[in-house]
A = this chain, B = another copy of it.
Amino acid sequence: MPTMKAAVFVEPGRIEIQQKPIPEIGPTDALLRVTTTTICGTDVHILKGEYPVKPGLTVGHEPVGIIEKLGSAVTGYQVGQRVIAGAITPCGQCHSCLDGHGAQCGGHAMGGWQLGNTIDGCQAEFVRIPNAQANLTLVPDGLTDEQVLMCPDIMSTGLGGAESGHIRIGDTVAVFAQGPIGLCATAGAKLMGATRIIVVDGVEERLAVARKLGADETINFNQTNPVEAIKALTGGRGVDVAIEALGLQETFEACLRVLKPGGTLSSLGVYSGKVSMPLDAFAAGLGDHTIVTTLCPGGKERMRRLMEVIASGRVDLTAMVTHRFKLENIVEAYDLFSHQRDGVLKIAITP
């Protein structure tokens, strides 16, 4: 039985490279030879045991690769084509998917997130993609692996935050936190026509990247109270849309506090405790507020659109790849990434 290298969750605090069998595929699957992948903040939650997965699982959910094998029921693709699949792999055929909620595939919360969660993921030499017919998208010629590496998760999630906020031309938007997802939310806000984008983070390097991606104004929360600053910048009016891209009570609440009556709070963060809405910020429930959460939209049409954004030059995310590691050294990469050393944003991993 042929084997491959894979990054495997062993126990809390320990992900390591192991030799595992190359996955077998069923009629609706595809097998990809992974050419580039990356580490996500969620993977760090897994590493730390904060998000529980089964020991022995191969982690990772952001694959760029080459089709190695196709299930018998998968049509329209050929072995050897270069493709991506989203972090979320909706089946397209269940009630939730057909109702427009692919990320909640099967009607289970987060049901569409399988790779590196409920089935083996892609921090490996090979990965099995389920429901391949709905999830493989050819990479357009002329785009490198690194150019499309953000599409499967970070870019889909970040832009999704802007889309779920229903940003309109002329909106003022605040984005709290400018990690990889927040930066993509900033890019998304600009793409949708927001004309004043105010971003908040504590790291100057990230604020500098944010400016390149569309931020009109940046607030370093170490120097300035962001709620007060945004109120002042908007003449007390508040923002049309506030995007939460971190997952803390503090940032969620700040989003609510800078929101205009009738505004929308678009939440992307993964929370690790309950989230509260203070009475005043929530206008006692009478502020015509909308709060919406978004799990990374997936599926091949989504991936096609995101790669179109890249191909068009409208958004350039290559500056987000700050480091590169071989798969065999991924333990080191996890260490760097989880401690956010050395200005790391995203790490390209190549098997």
Instruction: Given A288-B101, A299-B98, check contact A276 B279 (CB 8 Å).
Output: no
Instruction: Given A93-B92, A274-B282, A276-B276, check contact A293 B288 (CB 8 Å).
Output: yes
Q: Is A97 engaged at the interface, CB distance under 8 Å to the other chain?
A: yes
Q: Is A232 engaged at the interface, CB distance under 8 Å to the other chain?
A: no
**Interface-centre pick from A99, A169, A276 (highest chain B CB count, 10 A):** A169
Q: Is A28 engaged at the interface, CB distance under 8 Å to the other chain?
A: yes
> Looking at the complex, which of A1-9, A305-313, A327-335 is the stretch in contact with chain B?
A305-313
Is A107 in contact with B284, judged by CB distance below 8 angstroms?
no
> Which chain B positions have C-beta within 8 A of A216?
312
Distance of A268 Cα from B275 Cα, bound (Å): 19
Q: Is A111 engaged at the interface, CB distance under 8 Å to the other chain?
A: yes
Is B188 in contact with A169, judged by CB distance below 8 angstroms?
yes
- Nearest CB of B to A312, in Å: 4
> Which chain B positions have C-beta within 8 A of A90?
98
- Nearest CB of B to A5, in Å: 30
Instruction: Given A261-B107, A271-B284, check contact A93 B133 (CB 8 Å).
Output: yes
Q: Is A290 engaged at the interface, CB distance under 8 Å to the other chain?
A: yes
**Interface-centre pick from A216, A267, A312 (highest chain B CB count, 10 A):** A312
Distance of A83 Cα from B237 Cα, bound (Å): 20
Report the interface size class on chain A.
Answer: 35 or more
> Which chain B positions have C-beta within 8 A of A300?
93, 95, 98
Instruction: Given A110-B286, A262-B101, A288-B295, check contact A278 B274 (CB 8 Å).
Output: yes
Q: Is A48 engaged at the interface, CB distance under 8 Å to the other chain?
A: no
> Looking at the complex, which of A191-199, A218-226, A316-324 is the stretch in contact with chain B?
A191-199
Pick the contact of A272 from B238, B279, B292 — CB < 8 Å? B279
Is A261 in contact with B101, judged by CB distance below 8 angstroms?
yes
